[in-house]
Amino acid sequence: MIGVRSLARLAALTPILIALAGAEPAGGQDVSSADSWVVPTVQSVILERADRSRSKGDEDAPIRIVEISDFECPFCARFYQESYRAIDSLYVQTGIARYLWISFPNSTHPRAWPAIEAAFCAGAAGRFWPMHDVLFERREEWTESRDPNTLFLTYAEGIGVDRESFSACLRNDQTAPLQVRDYESAIAAGVTSTPFFVVGDSVAIRGAVPLETFRSAIDSVLVLRGHDPP
């Protein structure tokens, strides 16, 4: 059983990682200039930017929603297809929730680790969320490919990331420390499967539950904190 303290640690994971990387927590919005869509060469900068990019929404939002996920996981893909966009539209884009994404690759998913790496390398160029979307939307394609990294390069180019710097990030496993820390933190908190969600630092949701169930959990936390649900 996962306790409240463990949930709170998971919810706070991203800003902790940013602090360890030597930077202040900042917004995870995509940069607007194509000149910035280049993955840095220094690993510490890659890690800081990748970490920062996988959170989005108002930093002062009343609640946080944390998703622990695996791009190869079919249930994570179901959540993306059936609920993610609605939650993003209703709660994140309206400033009600800050959304954090934490990686947790299943040991039976051989392509999960490189897919997470692709998302984080894209994130280091300011394009985590576009890559996040592509990986779920084209999941069947890259999970069945003998050479998924070639597809990841194509996806990166498609969302405006510089191919050469992205390729170097993948080739040199530059985001591995971030991925290992995510995994160890999730294990320490008692997470055993994906998707797993933490709402408001205290409410746990296991699995790709229906949108109505998810909304009910979020709204109940909002009401308890004195905020009106959307």
Whole-angstrom distance, CA of residue 171 vs CA of residue 168:
5
Both structure tokens of 230:
């959307």
Q: Which of 4-8, 49-53, 72-76, 104-108 has the least mean pLDDT?
A: 4-8
Q: What is the pTM of this model?
A: 0.86
What percent of the chain has pLDDT above 70?
A: 84
Confidence of residue 209 (pLDDT cuts 50, 70, 90): very high
CA 16 vs CA 9, 122, 135, 186, 194: distances in Å: 9, 21, 26, 14, 22
3 state DSSP class of 110: coil
d(CA 29, CA 54): 9
Q: Which domains does the chain have, with CATH numbers?
A: 4-224 (3.40.30.10)
User: Over the stretch 134-166, which tens digit does the pLDDT of each residue have?
Assistant: 999 999 999 999 999 999 999 999 999 999 999
Which residues have a Cβ under 8 Å from the Cβ of 177 and sit 6 or more positions away?
Answer: 43, 47
CA distances (Å), 49 to each of 46, 157, 162, 187, 228, in order?
Answer: 5, 19, 15, 24, 33
- Please say if the pLDDT value at position 37 is more than 80: yes
